[in-house]
């Protein structure tokens, strides 16, 4: 399932070689390690045999990843609607969000991070550059590119098993002010193991006048490292925070009977904008004293939930960049989140972008040029 390429191509040169005439991307994504997703529809028996909670995201070793990918071939579900049962593609939450912004919404984006000099690194570069993402802040390093097994059950729910331990990574001392200068937003994903880099990137972003968007990553990450997350929120440097319902539940204590309104109020104490996505129930969002509820779109045609939250963030950020009101930001997010779940993997297919534009037009939303 690994990616192959005959003619290796390194990423474009780093930002220090850019000319001053080049406009900075409106939205930057911080993904310290480039990542390749191996997305497959599998039966329950495989999910029952791999370590960790079903439906969550838990890191594995390269040996465990290779074992999972081998097992996947024996547990692939028959594809439907002529969809490919396995998709290998550039991945990671931040990459999904900025690729969606660029490819589907026409917003200029760039990625800050590092990729390996292996076949997976080549695939990441080619896929992201094809989608129009600026890669001049992506450093090429000798070593491996991160990979993740994304296992999707018959109901479209996904279980993630990333392998990051052997991957090349951008370090905190490699950030440069010119990487951030002139951009409007920095998109960040919470990760305890990357706190040094996250804090430094946010420090420089704020120095350069950027707003910061934070995704809470996974319920395991929130549950296991909640104090550090709260400390990060308390800095006041997070302008926008996205959480799904499981992450929101862990954020306010882990009770099964939690109220999303309580979670949104909690996040609203620290962030200008706060969003809790609620899967088939849509989302709840807060900005200042305003709170809105918006229903989901396209849920009945869900094939794979991979990237649903990431693409919701694409649409919501598009709305903020364009100056749309809170409810319209949520509606655009619901349209883009609904577009990605119509096929396997975290990248929206061209026909599903067209589906999204039709949904936006029907709802009177600002359709991208």
pLDDT digits 0-9 by tens, 194-208: 999 999 999 999 999
**CA end-to-end distance (rounded Å), the chain:** 36
Task: Give me the pLDDT at residue 152, please.
Answer: 84
With DSSP H G I counted as helix, E B as strand and the rest as coil, what are the percentages for the chain, rounded to 5? Answer: 40, 20, 40
For residue 363, the SS3 value is coil
Angle 176-181-185 from CA coordinates, rounded to 5°: 110
Of the candidates 232, 226, 326, 231, which has an alpha carbon nearest to the alpha carbon of residue 274?
326
The pTM of this model reads 0.88
pLDDT at 325 over 60: yes
In the chain, DSSP finds a helix count (H) and a strand count (E) of 13, 13
Q: Which residues pair with 90 in a beta bridge?
A: 36
**Least confident segment among 12-21, 58-67, 263-272, 329-338:** 12-21
Q: Which residue has the higher pLDDT, 272 or 258?
A: 272
Distance of CA 218 to the CA centre of its chain: 11
3-state secondary structure of 249: helix
User: Among 111, 121, 124, 125, which Cα is nearest to 145's?
Assistant: 121
Residue pLDDT, tens place only, 110-120: 999 999 999 99
Helix (H) or strand (E) holding 110: strand 109-115
Strand partners, 158: 152
Q: What is the pLDDT of residue 83?
A: 55
Q: What is the average pLDDT across 130-144? A: 97
Q: What is the pLDDT of residue 255?
A: 75
At residue 74, does pLDDT exceed 50? yes
Is the pLDDT at 211 greater than 70? The verdict is yes
Which pLDDT belongs to residue 300? Answer: 63
Q: Edge-to-edge, what's the strand order for the sheet holding 35-41?
A: 86-91, 35-41, 146-152, 158-163
Kindly list the distances between the CA atom of residue 288 and the CA atoms of 144, 232, 269, 276, in Å, as whole numbers in the listed order.
44, 20, 9, 15
Mean pLDDT over each residue of the chain, to the nearest integer: 89
Q: Which two tokens stand for residue 336?
A: 């883009």
- 317: tokens are 């950020």
Name beta bridge partners: 243: 276
Beta bridge partners of 146: 35
Label residue 13 by pLDDT band (50, 70, 90).
very low
Total Cβ atoms within 10 A of residue 50: 18
């Amino acid at each position: 399932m690994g990616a192959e390429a005959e003619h290796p191509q390194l990423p474009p040169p780093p930002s220090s070689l850019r000319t001053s005439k080049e406009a900075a991307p409106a939205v930057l994504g911080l993904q310290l390690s480039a990542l390749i997703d191996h997305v497959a529809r599998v039966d329950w028996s495989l999910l029952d045999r791999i370590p960790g909670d079903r439906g969550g995201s838990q890191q594995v070793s390269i040996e465990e990843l290779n074992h999972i990918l081998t097992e996947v071939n024996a547990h692939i579900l028959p594809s439907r609607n002529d969809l490919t049962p396995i998709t290998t593609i550039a991945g990671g939450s931040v990459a999904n969000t900025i690729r969606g912004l660029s490819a589907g919404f026409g917003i200029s984006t760039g990625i800050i991070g590092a990729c390996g000099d292996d076949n997976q690194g080549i695939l990441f570069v080619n896929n992201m550059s094809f989608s129009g993402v600026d890669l001049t802040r992506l450093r090429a390093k000798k070593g491996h590119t991160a990979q993740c097994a994304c296992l999707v059950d018959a109901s479209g729910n996904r279980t993630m098993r990333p392998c990051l331990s052997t991957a090349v990574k951008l370090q905190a001392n490699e950030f440069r002010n010119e990487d951030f200068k002139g951009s409007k937003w920095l998109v960040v994903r919470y990760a305890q193991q990357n706190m040094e880099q996250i804090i430094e990137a946010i420090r420089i972003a704020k120095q350069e006048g950027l707003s910061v968007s934070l995704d809470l990553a996974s319920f395991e990450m929130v549950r296991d490292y909640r104090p550090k997350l709260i400390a990060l929120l308390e800095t006041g440097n997070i302008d926008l925070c996205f959480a799904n319902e499981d992450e929101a539940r862990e954020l306010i204590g882990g009770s099964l009977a939690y109220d999303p309104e309580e979670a949104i109020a909690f996040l609203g104490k620290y962030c200008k904008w706060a969003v809790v996505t609620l899967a088939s129930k849509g989302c709840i969002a807060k900005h200042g004293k305003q709170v809105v509820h918006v229903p989901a779109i396209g849920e009945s045609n869900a094939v794979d939930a991979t990237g649903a939250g990431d693409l919701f963030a694409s649409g919501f950020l598009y709305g903020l960049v364009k100056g749309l009101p809170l409810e319209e930001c949520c509606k655009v997010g619901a349209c883009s989140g609904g577009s990605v779940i119509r096929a396997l993997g975290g990248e929206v297919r061209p026909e599903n972008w067209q589906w999204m534009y039709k949904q936006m037009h029907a709802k009177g939303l600002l359709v991208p040029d």
